[in-house]
Structure 1
Amino acid sequence: MIQLALMASGGGTTAEYVFRQCQRGRGLHGLFDPRCLIISHRQVTAADRLRDAGFGGQIYTCSGNMFGPERFGEILLDIFGEERIDWFAQYGWLPLTPEAVIKEYPGINQHPAPVPWFGGKGMYGRAPHKAIREFAQRVERPILTEATAQLVHPEFDQGERIACISYPVSRDCSTPMLQQALLPLEHQCQVEALLRIAAYGGKAPPPVESYFELLPGEEDILAEAKRLAIEAWPHG
């Protein structure tokens, strides 16, 4: 069984969904064992959500803002070693995981939009949804967004895509509506990625293609869409 560390910085809906999928009778039962939850600050509600769902593992609080990146990496490595972790899973996890950790342990990262195009600094929370809406309104073709699972990379949202589920961007769909529509697909996408990892014997599976395509000449449109999104949602 693959030992999993869950990591969250927000409400923890994905972490809860994955935890429940690991229970008897569900799709990940017997494949993954969520050993611990790591939250980035004490106000994160994911801890209460998982406890209410029956999670009995250890809950840790740490981030680079607390300790600095080097010490942060050492703490994560200590936790992973103590818990005998095989994989870590970033579900709404905001800190940049230190490269020292990534070199020792494989990780999976959740993102609510096509990467790497709608990823990077500031692209979290509502901002990616706003960005792809702005982009879709400026190009003369249908656009698909996607829930994404990718391998953790030393830079934000640059890892290889190992699962994605597409969703059409409607011109009259608001940012909150798009975010709400994507959330269940995000949950499904993370489970799909974990199933692929299990199918490959606990190793990283081959990358998959994105449903999104950036055409030549659209680079400035993308940059402006992301700028407007971060301006509108500076805190996600």
Structure 2
Amino acid sequence: MKKIVLFASGNGSNAENIMAHFEKSGQGTVVGVFTNNSHAKVIERAKKFQVPTYVFNKTELSDDTVLNNLQELQPDLIVLAGFLLKFPVHIINAFPNKVINIHPALLPNYGGKGMYGMNVHNAVLEKKEKETGITVHYVNEHFDEGEFIFQANVAIENCTTAEEIAQKIHELEMEHFPKVIVRLLEG
């Protein structure tokens, strides 16, 4: 059975969707949820699926603490699902082509440091874009610059608020992210 580890910093709706998908499908198993936020809702969501959680601080992410935990789990894929810290190069190097992220825009637009969640949706609204979407990409040493794996777009010309855009993006994430993970696990 292919093993998945999730990283999330907050609400964890994407993480929950992934855990639910793999619990039902049997196409893999989520063996751990890592978070840098001891108050993150993702912890409650992981408990619902009896997935162990690992709470860490920035020092433990930078030193070998998180890396050692990951090496014990031996994941086939590390999935950043709403993880807001820069992912360390030493972990990326230990798991080459096994760390992926989802971004709530069509990269290379609206990517980079500080471009996450509502920051992205507000920027898209401000530019009066007619469409936006999601990008699943490999993680490298730069924010949102890794090789693209998948993109999906959605029309937003009728959206008048960033919240409306966020809802459309959320629907794309829920539909596509688990399927992309399955494809990657199947090679």
TM-score by length of 1: 0.74
C-alpha contact (below 8 Å) 1:163/1:190 kept by paired residues? no
Partner SS for 1:178: helix
Counterpart pick for 1:46 among 25, 39, 42: 42
Q: Classify 1:172/1:15 alpha carbon distance in 2 versus 1 (closer, same or farther; 3 Å).
A: closer
For residues 111 and 65 of structure 2, the distance between their equivalents in structure 1, rounded to whole angstroms, comes to 26
Counterpart in 1 of 2:83? 93
| One-letter code aligned to 1:30 | G
Counterpart in 2 of 1:117? 109
For residues 172 and 61 of structure 2, the distance between their equivalents in structure 1, rounded to whole angstroms, comes to 32
For residues 135 and 63 of structure 1, the distance between their equivalents in structure 2, rounded to whole angstroms, comes to 36
| One-letter code aligned to 2:20 | R
For residues 159 and 57 of structure 1, the distance between their equivalents in structure 2, rounded to whole angstroms, comes to 28
Does residue 30 (structure 1) correspond to residue 30 (structure 2)? The answer is no
Counterpart in 2 of 1:12? 12
Q: CA deviation at 1:81?
A: 1.2
Partner SS for 1:150: strand
Q: CA deviation at 1:5?
A: 0.6
For residues 176 and 19 of structure 1, the distance between their equivalents in structure 2, rounded to whole angstroms, comes to 25
Structure showing greater radius of gyration is: 1
Does residue 107 (structure 1) correspond to residue 99 (structure 2)? The answer is yes
Question: Structure 1: which 5+ residue stretches go unaligned?
Answer: 138-142, 201-236
| Structure 1 stretches of 4+ moved >4 Å | none
Counterpart in 2 of 1:184? 171
Counterpart pick for 1:197 among 180, 184, 187: 184
Partner SS for 1:118: coil
Q: CA deviation at 1:163?
A: 1.4
Counterpart in 1 of 2:137? 150
C-alpha contact (below 8 Å) 1:164/1:189 kept by paired residues? no
Partner SS for 2:31: strand
Counterpart in 2 of 1:61? 55
Higher alpha-carbon deviation: 167-176 or 149-158: 167-176
Question: Structure 2: which 5+ residue stretches go unaligned?
Answer: none
C-alpha contact (below 8 Å) 2:36/2:55 kept by paired residues? yes
Q: RMSD between aligned alpha carbons?
A: 1.6
C-alpha contact (below 8 Å) 2:106/2:132 kept by paired residues? yes
CA deviations 1:103-139 (Å, max 9, x no partner) are 11111101111112211111012011111122226xx
| One-letter code aligned to 1:117 | N
Residues 213-232 of structure 1 mapped to structure 2, 5 A cutoff: none
Partner SS for 1:167: strand
For residues 62 and 153 of structure 2, the distance between their equivalents in structure 1, rounded to whole angstroms, comes to 37
For residues 70 and 42 of structure 1, the distance between their equivalents in structure 2, rounded to whole angstroms, comes to 17
TM-score by length of 2: 0.92
Q: Classify 1:178/1:3 alpha carbon distance in 2 versus 1 (closer, same or farther; 3 Å).
A: same
| One-letter code aligned to 1:164 | Q
Does residue 132 (structure 1) correspond to residue 124 (structure 2)? The answer is yes
